[in-house]
Amino acid sequence: MLTTPRVMAVPTTQAYVCRMQSRRHIEIRALNEGYLEEIPVQEGQAVRAGDRLYDLYPVLYRTKLEAEKAELRLAEINLQNTETLAGRGFVSAPELARAKAERDRAKAKLDRATAELGFTSIVAPFDGIVGRQLMQQGSLIEVGDTLTTMSDNAVMWVYFNVPEADYLRFKSIRGASDAATPRRLELSGATIQLRLANGQIFDKNAATALTIESEFNNETGNIEFRADFPNPNGLLRHGQTGTLLINQRLAGALVIPQRATFEILDRQYVFVVGKDAVARQREITVARELEDVYVVNGGLSAGDTFVLDGVRQVRDGAHLERTQTRPPDEAVKNLKYKAE
């Protein structure tokens, strides 16, 4: 049985193992030392920007603030007296400048004390979810201690590693183009989905603009891509894993059934039959391997006739008799095109 390649649009799905990261995931650290007086939030709680997360015991910082206010008042009084005396010629210019500098230094120390008192109340820097409480009420906190983490999960960054061959294919696909920056790739017409650990497909698709890392990993030969998924219901969390699916349609693809091919030393071949009815072995280049078919981008043209059934009974150079030709539509009918 003979046939010819079918030219058709082929739906394809490429799957990549992925990991998810919040678009903002930070550590909340103490800027002051002191006793942890109050924790107004719970682990896993959703908070708004400006909500209080922790309160440190503020007495010492409030006392210091009052002391610095008093120092500033004294410096201002001293400056006023010095300016009065300078106006009468009793104080030199350097002494007046020194009084102004003392006032400025006192003001700077007051600003610092005000900031330190403000640091005793630690607030959420953005809308997000509070992580694990690493310090408990009553703990003595040092400057720089990590208290918890915060995640902004409104948009999830999903990272996946792409082999170099796939990277080059994405860049060459018709409809794929560079976006505003060289590190962005727009896959027009593609659908990008996320399959979760339980096998279900996440109900939101990613934007078709993918972010590409700046360089390949020399050890693995991969480059990292990032897809951005909206997460309005908060189902996705920082650190989750899953499978990213890129669904595309290859227009004008040359498709042949896999059963028409045979393999020699990791290379794919078909028996092409000429007008003289002689079967000749020919190597083909497979662009995509789907479930039952191959997408071929080398070695065959749309008008070539090749052996469809009984490939293993054919020998190179054999003359074929009493052959029938099946239309390409029938040859690939009922075959599966799923690829993951």
The number of beta carbons lying within 10 Å of the beta carbon of residue 233 is: 9
Task: Examine the pLDDT at 320 and tell me if it is beyond 50.
Answer: yes
320-327: average pLDDT: 86
Place of tokens 């503020």: 58
Furthest CA-CA distance within the chain: 126
Give the CA radius of gyration of the chain.
35
The number of beta carbons lying within 10 Å of the beta carbon of residue 88 is: 7
Task: Examine the pLDDT at 5 and tell me if it is beyond 80.
Answer: yes
pLDDT in tens, 91-109: 888 888 998 999 999 999 9
13-22+152-249 domain in CATH 2.30.110.10? Answer: no
Which of these, 281, 36, 245, 263, lies nearest to 136 by C-alpha position? 36
215-225: average pLDDT: 92
Fold exhibited by the domain 2-12+251-331: 2.40.420
Which of these, 288, 262, 304, lies nearest to 340 by C-alpha position? 288
Decide: 242 and 235 in contact? Cβ < 8 Å: no
* Cα 305 from Cα 307, distance rounded (Å): 7
Cα 14–19–23 angle (5° rounding)? Answer: 115
The percent of residues above 90 in pLDDT, for the chain, comes to 52
- Which residues does residue 54 pair with via DSSP β-bridges, in sequence order? 122
Which of these, 108, 111, 100, lies nearest to 78 by C-alpha position? 100
pLDDT in tens, 40-60: 999 999 999 999 999 988 778
Task: Examine the pLDDT at 19 and tell me if it is beyond 60.
Answer: yes
The pLDDT value given to residue 338: 59
**Contacts for 183 with CB less than 8 Å, ≥ 6 apart:** 211, 212, 213, 214
* Cα 174 from Cα 192, distance rounded (Å): 17
Higher confidence at residue 173 or residue 117? 117
The percent of residues above 70 in pLDDT, for the chain, comes to 96
3-state secondary structure of 266: coil
The pLDDT value given to residue 180: 47
Could you tell me the two tokens for 157? 């960054």
Per the prediction, the chain carries an average pLDDT of: 89
288 residue type, one letter:
R
The pLDDT value given to residue 65: 86
The pLDDT value given to residue 240: 95
Instruction: Give the pLDDT band (50/70/90) at residue 267.
Output: very high
Beta strands 2-3 and 306-307 are: antiparallel
This prediction has a pTM of 0.74
Which of these, 304, 303, 293, lies nearest to 334 by C-alpha position? 293
Task: Examine the pLDDT at 237 and tell me if it is beyond 90.
Answer: yes
The pLDDT value given to residue 181: 53
241-258: average pLDDT: 90
Domain boundaries, the chain: 2-12+251-331, 13-22+152-249, 31-57+121-144, 59-118
Fold exhibited by the domain 31-57+121-144: OB fold (Dihydrolipoamide Acetyltransferase, E2P) (2.40.50)
Question: Spelled out in words, what is the top-level CATH class assigned to the domain 59-118?
Answer: mainly alpha
- Which residues does residue 178 pair with via DSSP β-bridges, in sequence order? 185
